[in-house]
Amino acid sequence: MSPAPSPGRWLRWPDGATTPRFAYGADYNPEQWPREVWREDIALMREAGVNIVSLAIFSWARLQPAEDAWDFGWLDEAMDLLHAGGIAVDLATATASPPPWLTTAHPEILPVTATGETVWPGARQHWRPTSPVFREHALRLVTALAERYAGHPALAAWHVSNELGCHNIYDYSDDAARAFRAWLRARYETLDALNHAWGTAFWSQRYTDFEQILPPRLAASHPNPTQQLDFKRFSSDALKDYLRAEREVLRRATPEVPVTTNFMVMGETKGMNYADWAAEVDFVANDHYVVPGPQAVDELSFSANLTGNLAGGRPWFLMEHSTSAVNWQPVNRAKRPGELARDSLLHVAHGADAVCFFQWRQSAAGAEKYHSAMVPHAGADSEVFRSVTRLGRLLADDLAPAAGSARQPARAAVLFDWESWWASEQDSHPTSLLRYRQEALDWYSAFLALGVRADVIPAGAGPDGYDLVVAPVLHLVTSALAKELTRYAEGGGHLVATYFSGIVDEHDHAWLGGYPGALRELLGVRVEEFAPLPDGESVALDNGTTGTLWTDRVEVIDPATEMLARYASGDLAGRPAVTRRPAGAGSAAYVSTRLGPGGLQPVLARLLDAAGVGSELPAPARGRVELAVRVGADGAAYWFLVNRTDEPVEVPGVAGELLTGSRVGEAGADGAAPVLLEARGVAVLRRDQAMG
Ligand code: GAL
């Protein structure tokens, strides 16, 4: 048995330093370049303030050119050069992309799609998470690396594989089928239990032997929904199991070196249940790329916030983001002035103690040659490299006191639940237009617009400690969760739930007696039939907002329930749209339609008011500036003021010592002149906690 995961372990700096410092760097792929470039790389890294790189992520083919041939010479040299340059290494296990000799000898490691097509080599991550043959070869490589570099002084952390599940989360192969059956046996023990959970009385699906069960491959019509949900759970677990297998090899060889892997808490990446994975790593690491659109910055903040909470408030590692354009969007826009630093610092604001990019030097060849890097094709004489160097200095010098500080929890939170995400977006539902993460993001945007801090927390963390908790589309609610939320509200908490919440249990069976099922009594409303809206249709509310996507014919079952807004058009005109029921010492509100970030603002403002939660920002800054707070071991608070707009903003009334940023104009009553935030700018203040 290996020791239990020890959350809270951080990089092992080669110089033995224990005073917290920000890590700064990138994925480094020296194998793409001749030796003479390596020396220039080290010199430029030092100039930019780089103190860590992730190495060997896609190096399997170079490290093991044939089954029994190894070539570590080049990696030894790169590790030594980096160490001599004072740069630590987050060493990858190199298993992300199996080499051609392996897939030629063992095509049975290649994933298979739901329609039975083989996912061929030619790109990367073409391996089955459940393949015993792949695992045997991969762990052999991990063992060889772990043994060779165990004592290397540059080794600061291990980086398992890369973005597990980025391309291979769902595999429908025979290996997957076998592993799925084993997973189901462990979950249900008996076929009767499985038949009940899967509702196999429907469409003559009753199983009489576990061997009859398959992954949800291409079927004639809608595959069984619980089979689909379980396959999602299984697929996340299968990769988690693989992560553990690599980690065990690493822990055996180097118990003192922390192990991590880069999560993808971003956009619509939803296959991996990171709330369930977070305890498997010594520190949480995340990759984030900006999703273009009107909520781009909000989405970045949302992802960073959720990552910080997956890390339990402790520092986490931003393993990848981009200095400028990516290569995988339909149109890849360069970042505008200020965005490189603003995007990085927004992650830091939410607890990141490491800021790293994909990648160090922009590739000259390969699928990512148009993806930005710290050193672009143009070379070091470029605006990108100058911005990179400025950011390196900022992290190493000005912001140094904030390193190691923890996220300060907010008073409000948005619950985020992977199982509700999976279950609410399955097929054969009232609408195919529902987007779980979008609804959660809309609420978060409304908080930002009101200038009120809110945490994004995994649902399993529970609502306790928060004055107000929003549960957007909390679709899958077990009886235990329903009880927990009821206890929370009755104990003085303020719960807000939306449409399509409380509808099914853990088996994806509908709670009976009327919607919102498990939350009906708590919310004090009952709905007999859903009334989703077709794309392009909307409904007016009497508070001046507009609902889309969904409506409910809401019946109030507790007369104490307050009406916060009614429908004002269509068949539901005059009926409740937003309600709030006093529940014990707290309350439970229900929002029955999609209001979007703008429409949620007046509703949220009222709910916050009733819960006694206000903005910590001065009125002129609300909506234009995001505030995130970290707290140091000495009790000092670090206020990150992030300009969300493309115009300069002045923030009056914030006392404290500026670590970065400037003040303008006359001092106010508190003795402090307004803080000036340039367009997309960030200021960081150190404040005595007593300042409040
Ligand atoms: C990530 C991946 C990197 C690189 C990057 C490009 O998904 O881990 O290797 O491909 O995207 O944005």
Determine the Cα–Cα distance for residues 680 and 127; give it in Å rounded to an integer: 41
Tell me if 325 CB under 6 Å of ligand 1.
Answer: no
Q: Which residues are catalytic?
A: 163, 320
Does residue 2 fall inside a structural domain? no
CA–centroid distance, 289 to ligand 1, in Å, is 9
What is each CA distance from 650 to 291, 336, 647, 691, in whole angstroms? 27, 21, 10, 20
Pick from 7-16, 137-146, 196-205, 515-524: least confident: 7-16
Does residue 1 fall inside a structural domain? no
Does residue 195 fall inside a structural domain? yes
Does residue 14 fall inside a structural domain? no
Final residue of a structural domain among 611, 627, 660 = 611
Q: Would strands 454-458 and 562-566 be described as parallel, antiparallel, or unpaired?
A: unpaired
CA–centroid distance, 240 to ligand 1, in Å, is 20
Q: Give the model's pLDDT for residue 82.
A: 98
pLDDT confidence bin for 2, thresholds 50/70/90: very low
* pLDDT at residue 691 tops 90: no
Average pLDDT for 406-433: 98
The rounded percent of the chain whose pLDDT value lies above 90 is: 97
The rounded percent of the chain whose pLDDT value lies above 70 is: 98
Tell me if 287 CB under 6 Å of ligand 1.
Answer: yes
Q: Give the model's pLDDT for residue 70.
A: 98
* pLDDT at residue 4 tops 60: no
**Are 73 and 184 in the same domain?**
yes
Final residue of a structural domain among 367, 401, 435 = 401
Nearest CA owner, ligand 1 atom 8:
163
197: left (phi over 0), alpha (psi -120 to 50) or beta: alpha
**Are 381 and 431 in the same domain?**
no
- The answer to whether 652 touches 662, Cβ cutoff 8 Å, is no
Average pLDDT for 267-273: 97
Determine the Cα–Cα distance for residues 444 and 194; give it in Å rounded to an integer: 38
Average pLDDT for 141-151: 98
- What is the tens place of the pLDDT at every residue in 114-130? 999 999 999 999 999 99
Question: Which tokens in the block code for residue 5?
Answer: 């995961």
Average pLDDT, the chain: 97
First CA to last CA distance, the chain? 47
**Are 466 and 350 in the same domain?**
no
**Are 639 and 600 in the same domain?**
no
**Are 675 and 554 in the same domain?**
no
* pLDDT at residue 236 tops 60: yes
Peptide bond into 5 cis (omega under 30): no
**Are 28 and 170 in the same domain?**
yes
**Are 607 and 624 in the same domain?**
no
* pLDDT at residue 3 tops 70: no
**Are 354 and 501 in the same domain?**
no
* pLDDT at residue 5 tops 70: no
- The answer to whether 598 touches 571, Cβ cutoff 8 Å, is no
- The answer to whether 486 touches 499, Cβ cutoff 8 Å, is no
Tell me if 359 CB under 6 Å of ligand 1.
Answer: no
**Are 318 and 348 in the same domain?**
yes
State the angle between helix axes of 225-253 and 132-149 in degrees (0 to 180), rounded to the nearest 10. 30
Nearest CA owner, ligand 1 atom 12:
326
Q: Report which ligand 1 atom has the smallest distance to the Cα of 264.
A: 7
Identity (one letter) of the amino acid at 73?
Answer: G
* pLDDT at residue 298 tops 50: yes
Identity (one letter) of the amino acid at 390?
Answer: R
Nearest CA owner, ligand 1 atom 5:
358
**Are 180 and 280 in the same domain?**
yes
Could you tell me the pTM of the whole model?
0.98
CATH number of the structural domain spanning residue 427: 3.40.50.880
- What is the tens place of the pLDDT at every residue in 624-635? 999 999 999 999
Final residue of a structural domain among 401, 432, 447 = 401
CATH number of the structural domain spanning residue 94: 3.20.20.80
Does residue 3 fall inside a structural domain? no
- What is the tens place of the pLDDT at every residue in 35-86? 999 999 999 999 999 999 999 999 999 999 999 999 999 999 999 999 999 9
Tell me if 326 CB under 6 Å of ligand 1.
Answer: yes
Nearest CA owner, ligand 1 atom 9:
358
Q: Give the model's pLDDT for residue 692.
A: 56
Does residue 335 fall inside a structural domain? yes
3-state SS class at 304? helix
Cα-to-chain-centroid distance, residue 384: 26
- What is the tens place of the pLDDT at every residue in 7-34? 468 999 999 988 999 999 999 999 999 9
Identity (one letter) of the amino acid at 411?
Answer: R
Identity (one letter) of the amino acid at 79?
Answer: M
Determine the Cα–Cα distance for residues 174 and 132; give it in Å rounded to an integer: 12
Strand order across the 155-159 sheet: 259-260, 155-159, 88-92, 52-55, 23-28, 352-357, 316-320, 285-287, 262-263
Does residue 471 fall inside a structural domain? yes
- What is the tens place of the pLDDT at every residue in 331-359? 999 999 999 999 999 999 999 999 999 99
* pLDDT at residue 541 tops 50: yes
CATH number of the structural domain spanning residue 660: 2.60.40.1180
Peptide bond into 359 cis (omega under 30): yes
Average pLDDT for 622-649: 97
Question: Which tokens in the block code for residue 116?
Answer: 């039975």
Does residue 12 fall inside a structural domain? no
Give the count of domains, the chain: 3
pLDDT confidence bin for 690, thresholds 50/70/90: low
**Are 129 and 231 in the same domain?**
yes
Strand partners, 586: 583
**Are 108 and 215 in the same domain?**
yes
- The answer to whether 541 touches 485, Cβ cutoff 8 Å, is no
Q: What's the domain range around 463?
A: 412-611
Q: Give the model's pLDDT for residue 1.
A: 31
